[in-house]
Amino acid sequence: MANPAELFGNNVFNMKAMREHLSEATVKSLNETIKTGKSLDANIADEVAEAMKEWAVSKGATHFTHWFQPLTGATAEKHDSFIVPDGEGGVVCKFSGAELIQGEPDASSFPSGGLRATFEARGYTGWDPSSPAFIKDNTLCIPTVFCGYHGEALDKKAPLLRSMNVLNEQICRLGKLFGVEAKQMAFATLGAEQEYFLIDTELYAARPDLQLTGRTLFGKEPAKHQQLDDHYFGAIKTRVIAFMEDLDATLWSLGVPSKTRHNEVCPAQFEIAPVFESLNLSVDHNMITMEVLRKTAERHDFVCLLHEKPYAGVNGSGKHNNWSVCGPDGKNWLSPGDNPHENAKFMTMICALIKAVDTHADILRSSVATAGNDHRLGANEAPPAIISVFLGDQLTDIIEQIEAGGAKSSKNGGHIHLGVDTLPTLPRGNTDRNRTSPFAFTGNKFEFRAVGSNQSCAGSNIVLNTIVAEALDEISTKLEEANAAGKDFNAALQDVLADIIKTHKRVLFNGDNYTAEWEAEAEKRGLPNVKKTPEALKAMTTEKAQKLFSKYGVLSEQELASRYEVYMEAYEMLIGIEAAASVDIAKTMVVPGAVQAIKELADVSGVTGKAVKALCAQISDHLEKTLAACDKTAAAKGWADQIAGMDELRAAVDTLESLVPADLWPMPRYEEMLFL
């Protein structure tokens, strides 16, 4: 294996490549732009473009592309070669600053949710210098935002960057109140753990449902799957480790800091996790990771399934969104500090998160609402659709003390600070773990576990950044008012935090989120429990959501409305595709198999007894049910009836699978697909 340190970033126009290919002054100027978000000095664009091209061509690149993230949830690219005719029958390779900074892909086929009908059909891509260019498929990829003529966001990156700016502002404002010396911009950090399944290419090719919808629409539960927990963290099979080695090497060369790999709970399920990075970069890297997962799988005769629930009845795949904040002092603000002062800031952050998540649980839920994720949330391995926050015993104890009038002792710590510094010293390395909570504090970050494996992380982090910024805004406003009125800072802070806790503690839950008791308790507390995407997405259409996103300039009312439309339409379309595929597969594959089974049984009915006749009748009965459910599904109008039809159809088909001889069953079974 190649040395990771030598491999890392080989295909990235990173600091090292910049220093080699650019003048010192240009590196400095570009670095300023990257670090501070200051707009790019237009004078250096040509030099940077030329250097990028030289570097890329030296590595075999022939094309460049503006790489962006439209609302489809995937990434998009249109390649242009570097060639320019030289007038003598030959060509030279050129790449200008203008080409680097802005592109104009034909955008008419990307979903815009009506935005472009109102404005103009054009779409523009604009360079995001904070995410470095990289080479894949011999193409120089330039990360870009994708906007309409008037700057309206048609993608996921533009609002993500806006939300990062807003969070930066509010974090710095709070920092000022705590006397933090600002050395840099504050930014959210993200480490996205990615779960996925692998399946043999040959088996995949025999499952039209997987090919068309990413999940199995039929399939009887096998006798053995994950019950024995013998796959989780198990020794990795030879073929799979070869795939993983290839995967890591490719990711490292693309500058993706892939760190952890292991077998997941379900057989044929795995996880990859990176070292966390600045949010924008980490989101890009997760998008790259998903693509590299798929492509690397192909080279190893696998198909990588990123669907949230490829197989019913066993674990689905999520994406654990580990989120924190790196403050203007360069420190993690969700890490308990060394002194009471820092801990006061830490507890303020915790309270801001509680306030944000409780106030906007509906919007956070809407950010993970997809057809695929509906199968996962609330199943027995994934967090429920109820958004609650896990803090662990120790922090909960301190929260309760603050609510009661000021924290004086830490449950396990023993450090007591009285008087001015009313908050205790908190031991580091909070080891409490709760794997069932959708939003869990894990010692120095919050882990949002409801994100679907196939989703871009952008959506949930746009929401997280914005709702936390709003909470911080309100907290800082109160503290500033208290300051202006000459009130004692610590006393004012105590009051503000106690108020937040009183109002929002209903969102705190340390118990088992998978139980029916919690569902009942959550209902009593008035927490929303929205199970289906169409209802969850409605949270994007409320006045509360419009005010939130437009107040902070993250999404205008129109941009927000367009997103609702795009996601809702995608949902309805997908359910429609699933319904049509279900009917088609049932009629053209399952029914003929079952008819053949009846024929074979009928052939021997003269010489067999009652049991065989009964079996024949049973198959016939479920065949009738299958055909009736086909008609019902095909005739269904709208997603709710289509889902009801598909449920009925699946029940009939899965029963047939348990009755029809294996050699007549027209598709690979779960037991074949789940074990590699």
Query: What residues line the site for ligand ADP (CB under 6 A)?
Result: 189-191, 193, 273-276, 322-324, 332, 442, 444-445, 447
521 CB burial (10 A radius; 0-12, 13-18, 19+): middle
| Nearest distance from C-beta of residue 273 to Mg ion, angstroms | 7
CA distance 382 to 318: 8
Residue (332 or 533) nearer to ligand ADP, CB? 332
428 CB burial (10 A radius; 0-12, 13-18, 19+): exposed
Instruction: Choose among ligand ADP, Mg ion, none what residue 190 binds, the Cβ cut-off being 5 to 8 Å by kind.
Output: ligand ADP
Token output for 400: 């309760």
Give the total of residues touching Mg ion (CB under 5 A): 1
CA distance 134 to 56: 8
List all residues 6 or more positions away from 610 whose beta carbon is below 8 Å from its beta carbon. none
Closest CA to 429 of 418, 417, 448, 413: 413
Residue (236 or 644) nearer to ligand ADP, CB? 236
| Nearest distance from C-beta of residue 382 to ligand ADP, angstroms | 15
| Nearest distance from C-beta of residue 431 to ligand ADP, angstroms | 10
How long, in residues, is the chain?
676
| Nearest distance from C-beta of residue 447 to ligand ADP, angstroms | 6
- Furthest-apart CA atoms within the chain: distance in Å: 100
Instruction: Choose among Mg ion, ligand ADP, none what residue 453 binds, the Cβ cut-off being 5 to 8 Å by kind.
Output: none
Looking at residue 464, its amino acid is L
| Nearest distance from C-beta of residue 10 to ligand ADP, angstroms | 22
Residue (307 or 320) nearer to Mg ion, CB? 320
Residue (171 or 652) nearer to ligand ADP, CB? 171
Instruction: Choose among Mg ion, ligand ADP, none what residue 445 binds, the Cβ cut-off being 5 to 8 Å by kind.
Output: ligand ADP
Instruction: Choose among ligand ADP, Mg ion, none what residue 276 binds, the Cβ cut-off being 5 to 8 Å by kind.
Output: ligand ADP
Using alpha carbons only, what angle is made at residue 175 by residues 171 and 176, rounded to the nearest 5 degrees? 125
| Nearest distance from C-beta of residue 424 to ligand ADP, angstroms | 22
| Nearest distance from C-beta of residue 451 to Mg ion, angstroms | 12
Residue 198, classed as helix, strand or coil, is: strand
Instruction: Choose among Mg ion, ligand ADP, none what residue 191 binds, the Cβ cut-off being 5 to 8 Å by kind.
Output: ligand ADP
Looking at residue 523, its amino acid is E
Residue (451 or 568) nearer to ligand ADP, CB? 451
| Nearest distance from C-beta of residue 447 to Mg ion, angstroms | 5
H-type alpha helices, 178-207: 201-205
Whether the Cβ atoms of residue 107 and residue 146 lie closer than 8 Å to each other? yes
H-type alpha helices, 37-112: 45-58, 97-101
SS3 content of the chain, % helix, strand, coil (to 5): 50, 15, 35
Instruction: Choose among ligand ADP, Mg ion, none what residue 444 binds, the Cβ cut-off being 5 to 8 Å by kind.
Output: ligand ADP
Instruction: Choose among Mg ion, ligand ADP, none what residue 324 binds, the Cβ cut-off being 5 to 8 Å by kind.
Output: ligand ADP
Residue (215 or 285) nearer to ligand ADP, CB? 285
Q: Based on C-alpha coordinates, what's the Rg of the chain?
A: 28
Instruction: Choose among Mg ion, ligand ADP, none what residue 430 binds, the Cβ cut-off being 5 to 8 Å by kind.
Output: none
| Nearest distance from C-beta of residue 546 to Mg ion, angstroms | 33
Number of helices followed by number of strands (H, E) in the chain: 25, 17
Residue (460 or 562) nearer to Mg ion, CB? 460
| Nearest distance from C-beta of residue 343 to ligand ADP, angstroms | 17
Residue (95 or 390) nearer to Mg ion, CB? 390
Q: Where are the beta strands (DSSP E) in 401-445?
A: 439-441
Binding mask 315-344 for Mg ion (x = CB under 5 A): -----x------------------------
CA distance 302 to 239: 10
CA distance 422 to 404: 12
| Nearest distance from C-beta of residue 431 to Mg ion, angstroms | 13
Residue (320 or 365) nearer to Mg ion, CB? 320
Residue (434 or 550) nearer to Mg ion, CB? 434
598-635 as b/e: b if 16+ CB within 10 A: beebeeeeeeeeeeeeebbeebbebbebbbebbebbbe
Phi, psi of 616 (to 5 degrees): -60, -45
157-179 as b/e: b if 16+ CB within 10 A: bbbbbbbbbbbbbbbbbbbebbe
Closest CA to 209 of 486, 584, 484: 584
List all residues 6 or more positions away from 515 whose beta carbon is below 8 Å from its beta carbon. none
Residue (274 or 666) nearer to Mg ion, CB? 274
| Nearest distance from C-beta of residue 661 to ligand ADP, angstroms | 45
Phi, psi of 69 (to 5 degrees): -125, 80
Residue (289 or 370) nearer to ligand ADP, CB? 289
Query: Residue with structure tokens 């070292």?
Result: 275
Q: How many other C-beta atoms can be found within 10 angstroms of the C-beta atom of residue 435?
A: 13
Instruction: Choose among ligand ADP, Mg ion, none what residue 275 binds, the Cβ cut-off being 5 to 8 Å by kind.
Output: ligand ADP
Instruction: Choose among ligand ADP, Mg ion, none what residue 518 binds, the Cβ cut-off being 5 to 8 Å by kind.
Output: none
List all residues 6 or more positions away from 318 whose beta carbon is below 8 Å from its beta carbon. 195, 308, 376, 382, 449, 450, 451, 452, 453
| Nearest distance from C-beta of residue 383 to ligand ADP, angstroms | 14
Q: Which stretch binds Mg ion (CB under 5 A): 20-28, 312-320, 385-393, 405-413?
A: 312-320
CA distance 648 to 215: 17
Residue (448 or 549) nearer to Mg ion, CB? 448
Binding mask 495-534 for Mg ion (x = CB under 5 A): ----------------------------------------
Residue ranges binding Mg ion (CB under 5 A): 320
